[in-house]
């Protein structure tokens, strides 16, 4: 399974400015969140990126992309009709090929030499099927993510056959339907914000979006549940973490994670220790 194109969704009215925020990357350079995400995609070997935006945002995103701007194709979501609809807006760009899907309000910090997107593409290529990255997440954060339940693939730690999916489940729903053997108590496999999907998901979204009376059909999670019924579909834990910059202190947490991965780690730790010491002395 060779992935040549990536789709990045950035049209949510409440989050559209988040990818334009500046951070200091691992090398100490100031860059936008968007540029850091695009570097993640490029490092995975994907050159063409379609980005779903609100009308009128192209200039801002083009500037924020920096040296990656030339490889972007902008796709407007003219009405805010949900995440599934935003993904479906990229159907023409994706064509009849598998693709990498990311959200523009997450940053990824790998704990291995290979980036998170590259890890996911490697797994999808090996397994030759759709794969969603997941991260064990405490039940207190279930209201922010889609979550998956399933069973471990024999002999493949961290790889799961998906059996059920729920968009932002309650803890009770998760306990009843999404328990995964081996996870810590109170933790569930929540979306990482990164997927490799087959073009079948666009057909499923097309079917579901025709039923406009049901707003849940605008969600991606429901379409992925149908995908799991129709073809092999896996969830994979990656060596790394996602940081949702839409969360309270999310941008700060992502910045610290990036800084602690870089060459300035000792300096950052020293600054943090000094800050903590000054707070305790008050």
The predicted pLDDT at position 281 comes to 65
- pLDDT one-digit tens code per residue, 226-258: 999 999 999 999 999 999 999 889 999 999 999
What is the three-state SS of the chain? CCCCEEEEECCCCCCCCHHHCEEECCCCCEEEHHHHHHHHHHHCCCCEEEEEECCCCHHHHHHHCHHHHHHEEEEECCCCCCHHHHHHHCHHHHCCCCEEEEECCEEEEECCCCCHHHHHHHHHHHHCCEEEEEEEEEHHHHHHCEEEEEEECCCCCCEEEEEEEEECCCHHHHHHHCCCCCCCCCEEEEEEEEEEECCHHHHHHHHHHCCCCCHHHHCHHHHHHHHHHHCCEEEEECCEEEEECCCCCHHHHHHHHHHHHCCCHHHHHHHHHHHHHHHHCC
The predicted pLDDT at position 265 comes to 85
- pLDDT one-digit tens code per residue, 99-130: 999 999 999 999 999 999 999 999 999 999 99
Sequence-ordered list of residues with C-beta below 8 angstroms from that of 159, at least 6 positions apart, any chain: 123, 127, 152, 153, 234, 235, 236, 237
Q: CATH number of the domain that 33 lies in?
A: 3.90.550.10
Range of the domain at 245: 5-280
- pLDDT one-digit tens code per residue, 128-184: 999 999 999 999 999 999 999 999 998 899 999 999 999 999 999 999 999 998 889
- pLDDT one-digit tens code per residue, 39-75: 999 999 998 999 999 999 999 999 999 999 999 999 9
Number of domains into which the chain is organized:
1
Instruction: Kindly report the pTM of this predicted structure.
Output: 0.92
Tell me how far apart the alpha carbons of residues 233 and 239 are, in angstroms, rounded to a whole number: 20
């Amino acid at each position: 399974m060779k992935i040549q194109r990536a789709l990045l969704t950035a049209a949510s009215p409440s989050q559209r400015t988040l990818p334009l925020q500046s951070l200091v990357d691992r090398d100490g350079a100031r860059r936008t969140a968007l540029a850091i995400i695009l570097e993640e995609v490029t490092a995975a070997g994907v050159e063409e990126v379609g980005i779903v935006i609100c009308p009128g945002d192209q200039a801002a995103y083009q500037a924020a992309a920096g040296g990656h701007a030339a490889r972007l194709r902008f796709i407007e979501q003219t009405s805010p009709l949900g995440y599934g609809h935003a993904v479906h807006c990229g159907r023409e760009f994706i064509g009849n090929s598998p693709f990498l899907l990311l959200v523009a309000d997450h940053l990824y910090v790998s704990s291995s030499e290979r980036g998170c997107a590259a890890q996911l593409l490697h797994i999808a290529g090996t397994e030759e099927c759709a794969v969603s990255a997941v991260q064990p997440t405490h039940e207190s954060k279930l209201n922010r993510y889609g979550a998956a339940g399933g069973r471990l693939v024999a002999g493949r730690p961290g790889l799961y056959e998906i059996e059920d999916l729920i968009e932002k489940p309650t803890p009770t729903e998760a306990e009843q339907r999404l328990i995964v053997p081996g996870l810590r108590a109170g933790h569930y496999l929540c979306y990482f914000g990164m997927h490799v999907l087959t073009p079948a998901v666009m057909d499923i979204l097309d079917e579901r979006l025709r039923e406009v009376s049901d707003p849940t059909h605008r969600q991606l999670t429901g379409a992925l549940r149908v995908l799991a019924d129709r073809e092999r579909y896996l969830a994979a834990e990656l060596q790394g973490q996602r940081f949702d910059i839409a969360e309270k202190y999310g941008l700060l947490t992502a910045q610290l994670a990036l800084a602690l991965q870089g060459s300035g780690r000792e300096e950052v730790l020293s600054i943090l220790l000094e800050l903590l010491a000054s707070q305790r002395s008050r």
